[in-house]
Structure 1
Amino acid sequence: MIEFAPDIPRWRQVAEVVRRRIADGTYPPRTRVPSVVQLTAEFGVANATAHKVLRALREEGLTYTEPGLGSFVAERSRTAGGEPDK
């Protein structure tokens, strides 16, 4: 678990850890990111917090969700605009 800063929402701090892992290749494109259950276990956060983390990453275009399979790292498109691709 990480030591949380008291003045920053926990979901933001957990999301930042996952963002860094995506950026450094710990979670390469098209690989699964931790599930809600895994995030709650690793970071000691509530289910609602873990859901918020995954929703934020999806809204940022860093991940995408396959119903019934989980959330995966999106590939960055090489097209103008840089919209993420699956």
Structure 2
Amino acid sequence: MADDTPDPSPIDAAFARLEAALTRLDAVVARRLEAEAEPDDRDAELALLDEDRARLAAALDAASAQLAAVEATTGVVGQRLDRAIQTVQGVLGRA
């Protein structure tokens, strides 16, 4: 069976290649527009990291304040213990 269709002319072949290239270009542009319309996973991950950083910074500030309060209390308790030891030593020294 012989194919009776004539070979396409160079112009027809060029138009076919141009049409295929334009179709691929349209697909690429459509994908690009979709990607820009949807939030990027990387942007979402960065937003989550920012939230975590802010939360951790607040927790660190709270822990630092609590540590300062504990250190102040420890100083007061230490002074009271020193006075109590001195008092006990004074009483034992008189006896």
Which fold has the larger relative contact order, with Cα–Cα distance below 8 Å and residues 6 or more apart in sequence?
1
- Give the TM-score taking structure 2 as reference length: 0.20
Name the structure where strand makes up a greater proportion of residues: 1
Structure with higher helix content: 2
